[in-house]
Chains A and B, each alone.
Chain A
Amino acid sequence: MKRNQKIKLYLFLAMFAGAVIFAILFPRLTLPFGFAYILYLMAKPFTVKLTTGSKKQRFIYFCIMLVGVSFMFFPLFATLYNMDTDFGKFSAQLPEAQKILQDKVFGLKVKVFDQFGFKLKLDPVNYVMAKIESQGADFLNHIPDYLSAMFEWMLLVPLFLWFFFMESRKFSQGLLEAIPNPIFEKSYVLFSQFNTKFGEYIIAKFIEATILGTLVTLGLLIVGFPYPFILGFVAGVTNILPYIGPVIGFVPAFFIALLSKDPNVSMLGMVVIYTLANLIDMILVFPLLVSKIVNLHPIVVVVSIIIGSQLGGIVGMIVIIPFIAFFKLLFKEIYKDLSVQL
């Protein structure tokens, strides 16, 4: 390789490393940018179909954006609007819930003492209540920060999304032109494969979450369980996290069943609904939609989720899976290149 070609290659690698460092240093920009990119990938199959050969591309993009962004931010507005009332209800019900839980724990302690003659010294209810109080106070103190972050996202996400719709082709062309010749072919193909895999994974997870959420909602409606729509929505959203998600999604319904005084609220019915919905997901939906795309060992997935949560919280937990799948692909390619046998 000639000297100036080497310089070009090192410059490009330095630029790439710089972009990665910038992304790590400025998460307030990176996270909305990443989120907008996920939305763009989710919308891409529709936009491609609708805009190919069409003269009204801008109008179509604008409509898709309007629908998508409204759909994303409507729950936030609804939450903000009802925040005051919901907090009031929650605060009013909290002492009662505390009493019920303390009675249940006391009953459990008595049972353990009768059976084994062993005195349990743990006091989980007061511990949890203290946590709720401290976390609640912390949350209330940070509400202005959360609101400013939310409005920042409401401004940045549509802006980045519009940029992806209108300029992604030019931007990616410019980026591709900057890639030096010796690594162009492989970089381009790997980048395309990653894009495809990532997009497919996001769409597949979205469909899977919708199916599971719908199943849980319908099941809870049938057995007459309270808050079927909210619980179905929570189960669907948490299902985006593989393996851990279904457990997290089950927790709110479990506590509602535990604290409810209504004799019609059946804990067994709710458990059966959640188990059935997750079984359908595990046996039918996941193998058909997601596993072929990701193709990772379950242990690798669980370890990846833990690493993802450490690096980027909930967003990290969701995004880490396709990244790990991509790195697997990358290492395979490198290994293949190193073991050339002509």
Chain B
Amino acid sequence: MSYEKEVMEKMSRGESTGDRLEIPILKYLWDASPLSFLAKESYHDFFKKVSVLNSFSDNEVRLFTKFLHRREFMTNEVIFKQGDSGYGFYFIFSGSVNIHANFGTQTEDMGDFVIRLEKRQYFGEMGLLEEFNRRSATVVAAENTVLLGIFKPDLERMLELYPVLGAKFLRETALIMANRMGQLTREIVMLKKKVKELEQRG
């Protein structure tokens, strides 16, 4: 049960909702306030605008941020390489990253540029879900970038401490995977069509 629901139920039963204000929650609400005059964007604002997590309640976002690791990367710094073992899922908090893939060539370089991901986008979700994941592409910081990462041990801890939140996050991650799979399937169909057209021409 979420914190909000718990409080609402207690209030409807006429029970006390606690005689103490928790400083971390107070601080969090202050940071999350739209009237907050803090210059930097809070994690709350950030995640409220991340599409995959917009179903999370305020308190769920607050709990979710407890499990994140802030990692800073300089321009052109490699975040991970194609073929590395993958254990985590990253959100771009600030800056941007370039994704490169090596399509079968055995060269040592990063491979071909595929796409650039900007602020509030995410990558590496396979690393969180697969048991033995190998990164399928190389990711490089396109500028000074701050990433918020969540890794396998964090997910396990989340499922142990806050099972509802963990399940919700897993559902969202599964949806990302499903969307990507759908996209891939459509691309494969389109490519097969093109191959057929070329065969018919040739």
Q: Is A189 an interface residue (CB 8 A)?
A: yes
Distance, CA A55 to CA B69, complexed state (A): 25
Among B77, B82, B87, B88, the residue within 8 A (CB) of A5 is: B77
Query: Which of chain A's residues have a CB closer than 8 A to the CB of B88?
Result: 185
Question: Which residue from chain A places its CB closest to the CB of B147 in the assembled complex?
Answer: A181
**Contact between chains at B69 and A336 (CB < 8 Å):** no
Q: Is B131 an interface residue (CB 8 A)?
A: no
Distance, CA A24 to CA B152, complexed state (A): 32
Q: Is A93 an interface residue (CB 8 A)?
A: no
Min distance, Cβ A188 to any Cβ of chain B, angstroms: 6
Min distance, Cβ B64 to any Cβ of chain A, angstroms: 15
For this complex, into which size category does the number of interface residues on chain B fall?
20 to 34
Query: Which of chain B's residues have a CB closer than 8 A to the CB of A135?
Result: none
Main SS of chain A's interface residues?
helix
Other 10 A-B pairs with CB < 8 A, given A176-B69, A185-B80: A2-B74, A2-B77, A48-B161, A55-B18, A185-B84, A185-B151, A188-B87, A333-B85, A336-B85, A340-B134
**Contact between chains at A189 and B87 (CB < 8 Å):** yes
**Contact between chains at B22 and A185 (CB < 8 Å):** no
Distance, CA A193 to CA B161, complexed state (A): 18
**Contact between chains at A189 and B151 (CB < 8 Å):** yes
Min distance, Cβ B109 to any Cβ of chain A, angstroms: 15
- Total inter-chain residue pairs, C-beta < 8 Å: 52
- Given the contacts A181-B73, A342-B82, A52 and B151 also touching, CB distance less than 8 Å: no
Q: Is B83 an interface residue (CB 8 A)?
A: yes
Query: Which of chain B's residues have a CB closer than 8 A to the CB of A182?
Result: 78
* Chain B positions near chain A (C-beta within 8 angstroms): 18, 20, 22, 69-71, 73-74, 76-80, 82-88, 132, 134, 151-153, 160-161
Query: Which of chain B's residues have a CB closer than 8 A to the CB of A186?
Result: 85, 87
Flag A24-63 by CB within 8 Å of B: 1 or 0 each.
0000000000000000000000001000100100000000
Distance, CA A188 to CA B71, complexed state (A): 13
**12 pairs, CB–CB < 8 Å, chain A vs chain B:** A1-B78, A5-B74, A176-B69, A182-B78, A188-B151, A189-B151, A192-B153, A196-B153, A333-B85, A336-B132, A340-B83, A342-B134
Distance, CA A336 to CA B86, complexed state (A): 12
Query: Which of chain B's residues have a CB closer than 8 A to the CB of A227?
Result: none
Contacting B at CB under 8 A, from A289-342, are 333, 336-337, 340, 342
- Given the contacts A48-B160, A340-B83, A342-B134, A181 and B151 also touching, CB distance less than 8 Å: no
Q: Is A90 an interface residue (CB 8 A)?
A: no
**Contact between chains at A184 and B71 (CB < 8 Å):** yes
Among A55, A181, A340, A342, the residue within 8 A (CB) of B71 is: A181
Query: Which of chain B's residues have a CB closer than 8 A to the CB of A184?
Result: 69, 71
Min distance, Cβ A192 to any Cβ of chain B, angstroms: 4
**Contact between chains at A181 and B82 (CB < 8 Å):** no
Query: Which of chain A's residues have a CB closer than 8 A to the CB of B161?
Result: 48, 52
Query: Which of chain A's residues have a CB closer than 8 A to the CB of B85?
Result: 185-186, 333, 336-337
Query: Which of chain A's residues have a CB closer than 8 A to the CB of B71?
Result: 181, 184
Query: Which of chain B's residues have a CB closer than 8 A to the CB of A192?
Result: 152-153
Distance, CA A1 to CA B132, complexed state (A): 26
Query: Which of chain A's residues have a CB closer than 8 A to the CB of B134?
Result: 340, 342
Distance, CA A278 to CA B136, complexed state (A): 50
